[in-house]
Amino acid sequence: MSDTEAGPVDETASQATDQVEPENPHAQSVLKLASAMLRMTLIFGTGTTVIAMIVFTIMYGMHGLLSALIGGAIAMASSLATIGVMRFCAAMDPMMVMAIVLGSYVFKVLVLLGLMTLAKHVGFIERYAFALTMLAAFIISAVGEMRAFQKTKIPTIIPATK
């Protein structure tokens, strides 16, 4: 089949591929930080959850194991949600990124408190195993995120290009 048989070539599509948008240095920094935070969150959060599962299995048996597993999974999901929000809004203005991430963090804490309150009505959940695992995994994951921020080599001030 020749070019004439295939139909007209879309010139705007070929022009769009020729023009490459300049890379956003702010987005690169946010994505680099999000990757480092993901790594540390998985290491710190998973380790905390596993330790809590062992401790609460010894204390409460199978109900302690399930409660710690559920609490740790919820805390890890909330930490990963923050990193997902960072990745989603990385290309935005830095002040907007900060506002969105901090807003999502506050929302996440409120959701976690609500889940802790609702968990007391679930019969098979050991409240202390659930709450302490969730709290420990949440705090330790936040410490891991902070540690990742400290260790990641990203510029604090990125001069604007003219």
- Contact (Cβ atoms closer than 8 angstroms) between residue 134 and residue 113: no
Which residues span the domain enclosing 97? Answer: 24-151
Domain presence at residue 6: no
Domain presence at residue 7: no
- Taking each helix axis from N to C end, the angle separating 94-119 and 25-60, rounded to the nearest 10 degrees, works out to 10
Is the dihedral angle over the CA atoms 69, 107, 92, 40 positive or is it negative? Answer: negative
Q: What is the DSSP string of 15-76?
A: HHHHS-PPP-HHHHHHHHHHHHHHHHHHHHHHHHHHHHHHHHHHHHTHHHHHHHHHHHHHHH
**Residue 156 confidence (pLDDT):** 63
d(CA 95, CA 68): 37
pLDDT band of residue 25 (cuts 50, 70, 90) is: low
d(CA 4, CA 57): 72
**Residue 14 confidence (pLDDT):** 47
Work out how many domains the chain is built from and give that number: 1
| pLDDT at residue 6 tops 80 | no
Q: What is the DSSP string of 118-150?
A: HHTT-TT--HHHHHHHHHHHHHHHHHHHHHHHH
Q: Which of 64-68, 114-118, 128-132 has the lowest mean pLDDT?
A: 114-118
**Residue 137 confidence (pLDDT):** 93
pLDDT digits (tens, 9 = 90+) for 37-46: 899 989 999 9
Domain presence at residue 156: no
pLDDT band of residue 87 (cuts 50, 70, 90) is: confident
pLDDT band of residue 16 (cuts 50, 70, 90) is: very low
> Which position has the higher pLDDT, 123 or 10?
123
Domain presence at residue 12: no
**Residue 23 confidence (pLDDT):** 67
**Residue 122 confidence (pLDDT):** 79
What are the structure tokens assigned to 111, written together? Answer: 């959701």
**Residue 112 confidence (pLDDT):** 83
- The whole-number average pLDDT for the span 119-124 is 78
Domain presence at residue 5: no
Q: What is the DSSP string of 99-118?
A: HHHHHHHHHHHHHHHHHHHH
Domain presence at residue 158: no
